[in-house]
Structure 1
Amino acid sequence: MIARTTPYARPALAGALASALLLAMPAHAQQTPPADAAKPADAAAVREALAKKEGEGDQSTLLKETLTSVDKQYTLIRHNQFQFSYDLTYSYIGQEKIITDLAGGGVSLFSIENTSSHTITNTFSADYGVRDNLTGNVTLPVLSRYSDSGSASGVSNSLGDISVGARFQPFEAKRDAPGVTLTGNVRLPTGRSPFKIIAGSGQATGSGVTAFSAGLNLNRIVDPVALFGSMNATLSLPAAHLYQVNGTRILTKVQPGASVGFGMGFAYALSYDISTTMSFQEAISAGSKLHFADGLVAKTTMQTSAILNMGLGYKVSPKTTVNLSVGIGLTADSPNITVGMNLPLSF
């Protein structure tokens, strides 16, 4: 960290510079100068020259801005203010898909084929300050998905699942105490449901069910690092009145299992314009129950998804910071890789 940008280093540095200036002077120059002569620099003058200029942020402010750039869910906006942002995300999933059928209550293996999926998600978000400690949020995703396998391939461009949520800060932020934010979110099944897709008609762009999520976020500034963490839980309503052919059976209802997730990470302001972040996220989902027209009920296995994210933020203007991130999947149920960009929008 450059000494000029570290507030607590300035007094010591100023005194050292002042002493060096005095010691470097000739002996006659250290004597009392004539009244009309210029006075030598003293500690106060050097300290004033090195002091923080008006409008120059300190380390704490930098870290708060960096934390806001990492994920806006950790910082609320003021009453009656709007904030808009655009997220562009690319993800790739490559795996071996097992083609099975359910017969007599058992699972019969037909074949194994390689599948790959490329997804580009454009997400538009709008935040509104209901109160200084309460922020409402709406997100609108638009997906383009390409999937390729041995049996079929295709491209789908469609609206994803719209989300409506809120963030609430129950306690006033204090310098020496962690910040606490409560979150709530409702995800609506506005995208193309995977339970209603007919083979060869395109790819799903939504979950197909309504889901409710609640979470707790914590953040703490420990100079020169900002730490953050989160926990959340999600419950989904069943997808009923289905009629999807699955092998030799007809799927009529799906009851998704509950899921829990957690994450942690840190943010570090390298300078007034550059910041870096690293975080880890994991989600554990219980198995889903599948109901078929002939009365058979099957249950899928539990899934665990984990991603390691690394990010870089660049402040292009006092009010605009572009954030880039790369995520690496750590489990078989995770995307192999994700690449994202976040950009605030101004109107």
Structure 2
Amino acid sequence: MKLSTLPVFLASALLVHSMNAGAQESQTAPASAAAARDALAKKEGEGDQSALLKETLTAVDKQYSLIRRGKTQFTYDLNYSYIGQEKIVTDFTSSGLTLFDIENVNSHIITNTFSADYGVRDNLTANVTLPLITKYAETRGHSGVSNSVGDIVLGARFQPFEARRDAPGLTLTSNLRLPSGRSPFKIIAGSGEATGSGVTALSLGVNVNRIVDPVALFGSLNVTASAPAKDLSQVTGTRVLTRVQPGMSIGFGLGFAYALSYGITTTVSFQEAVSQGSKLRFEDGLNVKTSTQTSGMLNMGLGYRVSPKTTLNFSVGIGLTNDSPNLSMGLNVPLAF
């Protein structure tokens, strides 16, 4: 080979090598891009963030999404709450205040709640809730544990308008609470702790939610009225309590849920309830009205999707007022049969 033709030969060889390398790169690049797309793509059965947000909203308040007609859904909730407070004990006679004492009251409450939802229509869901309560209370004078059924709740949720992705969802709610638990107005000191409210109550409310993927905003407003507890005979100090008329209560809440991924969501919400004072009547004709109570809770939650149809929801609540539980923790588990 002549020296004059060597540069031409080398140039041709380099051109062929570059063409072969370019062809290999053109084949590798699409394959790498396809692999990346497959790795980042949503796998089959993962659902979407909107569905996960709806499940999370349902677990947060059990009022934000309905089930199909003829379908049944069961849910189990486990909740622990701690209440620590200083209770003022007083008694009145014709001569005025005769007893004034302050005692510390510590209560640990574990609630196992079983709920069943049934789709009456596509936009109407009926609900029944059965709580089983274990309560331990400790005061300076005594301590005790109570295991009993709590107040059973019958409820209904109704969506007057068809849900649309680009519009807020509206749900009307009603709940009838039955005094099936141990009444606080009938227990005898030292014989156990109350596990119910002791009165029948009706609640009406409205809930609004808006999903802006990957965030869902929600809020609620409700009003509760209670029937009086009559024909009582509870000894309180030196008097006998005969009638209690609980005051009306107004509550509201707001918050948001955020989908971190197809399997993880977080929620932050605030709830507050303002209750008017109760009217107490004693056997000797004395009438007393208690002060207004305000309860506020800050709740934080985490939802974890373990399967396409099952999402576990954990929550922690912190009391913001003196009338609120100091701490609450909850676990929500859908049940399938």
TM-score by length of 2: 0.88
C-alpha spacing 1:30/1:61, structure 2 compared with 1 (3 Å) = farther
Amino acid at match of 1:129: G
Question: What CA deviation, in whole Å up to 9, does each residue of 1:68-106 have, x standing for no partner?
Answer: 343331010000011001111111111111111022385
Amino acid at match of 1:241: D
C-alpha spacing 1:319/1:253, structure 2 compared with 1 (3 Å) = same
The 8 Å contact of residues 46 and 308 in structure 2, kept in 1 or not, is answered as no
C-alpha spacing 1:337/1:105, structure 2 compared with 1 (3 Å) = farther
Give the whole-Å Cα distance in 2 for the aligned partners of 1:40 and 1:267: 39
TM-score by length of 1: 0.85
C-alpha spacing 1:96/1:55, structure 2 compared with 1 (3 Å) = closer
Residue 183 of structure 1 pairs with residue 173 of structure 2: yes
Which segment is superposed worse, 61-70 or 266-275?
61-70
Residue 337 of structure 1 pairs with residue 319 of structure 2: no
The 8 Å contact of residues 63 and 268 in structure 1, kept in 2 or not, is answered as yes
Amino acid at match of 1:210: T
Task: For residue 63 of structure 2, give the secondary structure of its aligned residue in structure 1.
Answer: helix
The 8 Å contact of residues 189 and 208 in structure 1, kept in 2 or not, is answered as yes
CA offset at residue 316 of structure 1?
1.5
Residue of structure 1 equivalent to 2:142: 152
Residue of structure 1 equivalent to 2:253: 263
Give the whole-Å Cα distance in 2 for the aligned partners of 1:84 and 1:302: 36
CA offset at residue 250 of structure 1?
0.8
C-alpha spacing 1:256/1:105, structure 2 compared with 1 (3 Å) = farther
User: Which of these two proteins has the greater Rg computed from alpha carbons?
Assistant: 2
CA offset at residue 331 of structure 1?
0.2
Give the number of aligned pairs: 319
Give the whole-Å Cα distance in 2 for the aligned partners of 1:167 and 1:244: 37
1:19-98 to 2 correspondence within 5 Å?
A: 28=19, 41=30, 55-98=45-88
Choose the corresponding residue for 1:227, options 205, 217, 222. 217
Give the whole-Å Cα distance in 2 for the aligned partners of 1:299 and 1:312: 41
Which segment is superposed worse, 109-118 or 57-66?
57-66
Give the whole-Å Cα distance in 2 for the aligned partners of 1:62 and 1:187: 30
Unaligned runs of 5+ in 1: 1-25
The 8 Å contact of residues 46 and 262 in structure 2, kept in 1 or not, is answered as no
Task: For residue 73 of structure 1, give the secondary structure of its aligned residue in structure 2.
Answer: coil
1:296-307 to 2 correspondence within 5 Å?
A: 296-307=286-297
1:306-325 to 2 correspondence within 5 Å?
A: 306-325=296-315
The 8 Å contact of residues 132 and 150 in structure 2, kept in 1 or not, is answered as yes
The 8 Å contact of residues 209 and 216 in structure 2, kept in 1 or not, is answered as yes
CA offset at residue 54 of structure 1?
5.4
The 8 Å contact of residues 159 and 172 in structure 2, kept in 1 or not, is answered as yes
The 8 Å contact of residues 105 and 296 in structure 1, kept in 2 or not, is answered as no
Task: For residue 66 of structure 1, give the secondary structure of its aligned residue in structure 2.
Answer: helix
Give the whole-Å Cα distance in 1 for the aligned partners of 2:162 and 2:243: 45
C-alpha spacing 1:149/1:55, structure 2 compared with 1 (3 Å) = closer
Amino acid at match of 1:306: G
CA offset at residue 108 of structure 1?
4.3
Residue of structure 1 equivalent to 2:229: 239
CA offset at residue 237 of structure 1?
0.3
C-alpha spacing 1:322/1:60, structure 2 compared with 1 (3 Å) = closer
Question: What CA deviation, in whole Å up to 9, does each residue of 1:177-202 have, x standing for no partner?
Answer: 10000000000000110000111111
Report percent identity of matched pairs.
69
Choose the corresponding residue for 1:198, options 183, 188, 200. 188
